[in-house]
Amino acid sequence: MFVVLGVATTHLRACDVPEVRQDLLRWADENVVRGLRGSGAVQVRGFTDPFLMQSAVRGAAEQFFVNDQMTWLARTTGEGLPVCAFDADDLPEPIGFLVWSEDPSAHTATLGRPRAVLWCRAGMTLRVLVLDDAGPYRRTLEELGRRAHPTWIKEVAATLAGDLALAFGATIPLNTETSWDEVKRAWTLDRHGRPEPDRWNQGTDRVDHINEDQLRVIRTLLGTLLLIRQPADARRGLWQAEEVQPTSAARKRLRRAGAERPDAPVRYITLRQSIRPAAEDDRGAQDTAARVYRHQWFVRPHRRTYPDQDDPTGFSRKWVGPYLVTPAGCETAPILGRERVVSVLRR
């Protein structure tokens, strides 16, 4: 994961996911060509073979979009999990592509903004590719211009795939428990088991911050998959899913781009709601009238993007929370806390 300036995210929508995936597939195809020509294919941990990455992107027929509240709940869930324990049964599909509408990690350093994840089961391991919002990278390249190291510019530019940018990869064992420290330690070693060099002289502290943020994303991914695997019936479900189709214009663009399924739907995952929220609700509970909440929940501290008052075209990131989200009519509803969620999810 590269260090970039703190700027606004692109705020992708559920109907944008198919096009985002198609852009990633186009990039993966080009990456295979670069490898065959010997001009240097981009490699990340877990996807050092460009053909594997291409196959995973092409095979990710199941597409997910997780809204803000569900992302916060998944983050809270992931932070409470004592060990890294991805089970094969926890995967909604062997290969999947998922976009979070909010940051899956509460950053402690100024990093790229994680926004999407591609997973692929290979035997009894899970290959994970995390992708950032490409906006900060493009803006950083424009602002730095020729002042940046040319090798750095070339490497960053090679990771840009439409609205996304390759961030980092991971190989995680399935059906076994691994300590989070051991998962993080894997990022300090190269593929030969030797200490990873600090190529850009970021310093030990900054590198540790990067590893911690990457670990938070993996925690949130596990929390997200566990939540998706929970019952979704009206009586017990924490969440509900609906299918969102690409817009007609997006379907035309996908056909022109050669997409195999231009009308493939996206599963929109959201917290369940009990009644329609009040119009003046500005504490995070407002959502479409069709969704039904049955509980209250805590939003942990996180950073949110706001328009910059001094610069109408700019944005700033500010810490908000923690606070309790109480949808209208749910003042006496159960509160979802970390331990309750974890105990239910792990059965």
Mean pLDDT on 136-159: 79
Q: What pLDDT, on a 0 to 100 scale, did the predictor assign at position 346? A: 36
Mean pLDDT on 275-295: 48
User: What is the per-residue pLDDT across 167-213, written as a single tens digit (0 to 9) for each?
Assistant: 889 999 999 888 998 888 877 776 666 777 665 566 677 777 788 88
> Which has more confidence, 264 or 204?
264
Are 164 and 148 within 8 A, CB to CB?
no
Distance CA 218, CA 79 (A): 10
Are 305 and 104 within 8 A, CB to CB?
no
User: 10 Å Cβ neighbour count for 10?
Assistant: 15
Q: What pLDDT, on a 0 to 100 scale, did the predictor assign at position 283? A: 43
Is the confidence at residue 289, as pLDDT, over 70? no
Are 334 and 297 within 8 A, CB to CB?
no
Q: What pLDDT, on a 0 to 100 scale, did the predictor assign at position 234? A: 43
Q: Please state which of the ranges 41-50, 58-67, 181-190 shows the lowest mean pLDDT.
A: 181-190
Mean pLDDT on 23-38: 92
DSSP-derived 3-state class of residue 224: helix
Distance CA 195, CA 316 (A): 35
Q: pLDDT class for 28, splitting at 50, 70, 90? A: very high
93-107, 204-218, 326-340: which has the highest mean pLDDT? 93-107
Q: What pLDDT, on a 0 to 100 scale, did the predictor assign at position 282? A: 44
What pTM, to 2 d.p., does this model score?
Answer: 0.72
Strand order from edge to edge, sheet including 335-336: 323-325, 296-299, 335-336
Are 193 and 47 within 8 A, CB to CB?
no
Percent of the chain with pLDDT over 90: 18
Q: pLDDT class for 116, splitting at 50, 70, 90? A: very high
Mean pLDDT on 142-166: 81
Q: What pLDDT, on a 0 to 100 scale, did the predictor assign at position 241? A: 75
Mean pLDDT on 283-290: 42
Distance CA 145, CA 147 (A): 6
> Which has more confidence, 339 or 67?
67
Is the confidence at residue 3, as pLDDT, over 70? no
- Mean of all residue pLDDT scores within the chain: 76
Q: pLDDT class for 341, splitting at 50, 70, 90? A: very low
